[in-house]
Amino acid sequence: MHTRRALLAAALLIPVLAACGGKDQTDAKEEPTDIRVLAAASLTDVFKRAGAAYEKAHPDTKVTFSFAGSQELAAQVRQGAPADALVTADTKTMDDLKKETDNPTVIAKNRLTIATAKDNPKHISSLQDLSRGDLKVVLAAPQVPVGRYSKKVLDQQHVTVKPVSQEPNVRAVLSKVSLGEADAGIVYVTDATTAKDKVTTTTIPDAQNAVASYPAATLKTSKHSTRATDFVKWLSGTEAQKLLREAGFQQP
């Protein structure tokens, strides 16, 4: 009698345990896949917003960014740093990495501007003014895309500038000016916009300016190539392009 009761109780208990086990499995959530994107420093602010928007629409993916000058990013790729996608501030850097990347797509463009101390106390009105001996001018190093663009526009206007320093990326140039360590510097329009409460800008006419292109590509060494490729494609889509336009970037 006791044996029959024990068997009956056990039989009734099995479905309950099975149901509990099923509930635990259903409730368990997989951790999102983390993709690492190496991106040009000038994309810092807009990509943080873009990453949040992408994650909201793709909860199974987490986007982690590493921002630096494009030449630094290229060095990281060549050294085998673990990453899934790359976005540079020029096509030259990306082209030099064609063995390491899938086919790139230009997602945005940018232009240069002169950033000066707030309210422009030195009355800088043109590229030619940057050659004045009473000014402290800071530029990006020539191997940096914005430094290369800056040299190009200065050379075309036959302007000779002796910078007080040459910085590793555009954000470092902007920082020098915003902190009062330089009177002026050449930066991207979008970077100056992020610091409009700290710097004033002097427009460089289109005829004297340079256009910076931003290509994006999946890295061939990516361990999450499908998701990285999806993110790269998303950057050319409506939502990402709207964010880029709002940040001051031009259409590809």
Q: Give tens-digit pLDDT for 192-224.
A: 999 999 999 999 999 999 999 999 999 999 999
Average the pLDDT over each of 19-28, 29-38, 134-143, 220-229 and give the range with the smallest value: 19-28
State the sign of the Cα–Cα–Cα–Cα dihedral 93, 211, 153, 48. Answer: negative
The fold adopted by the segment(s) 33-109+213-246 is D-Maltodextrin-Binding Protein; domain 2 (3.40.190)
pLDDT at 8 > cutoff 50: no
Please provide the average confidence, as pLDDT, over all residues in the chain: 91
Same CATH topology for 33-109+213-246 and 111-208: the answer is yes
pLDDT at 225 > cutoff 90: yes
pLDDT at 5 > cutoff 80: no
| CATH of region 111-208 | 3.40.190.10
Position 30 confidence tier, pLDDT thresholds 50, 70, 90: confident
Q: Give tens-digit pLDDT for 142-177.
A: 999 999 999 999 999 999 999 999 999 999 999 999
Backbone angles phi, psi at 213, to 5 degrees: -105, 140
Tell me the CA distances in angstroms from 191 to 24, 25, 44, 216, one per residue in order: 48, 47, 9, 19
Nearest to 109 by CA among 91, 97, 123, 127: 91
Position 51 scores a pLDDT of 98
Look at residue 45 and give its three-state secondary structure. helix
What percent of the chain shows pLDDT beyond 70?
88
Greater model confidence, 2 or 49? 49
Position 13 scores a pLDDT of 47
Position 239 confidence tier, pLDDT thresholds 50, 70, 90: very high
For the chain, domain boundaries: 33-109+213-246, 111-208
Q: What is the largest CA-CA distance in the chain?
A: 107
Q: Give tens-digit pLDDT for 41-86.
A: 999 999 999 999 999 999 999 999 999 999 999 999 999 999 999 9
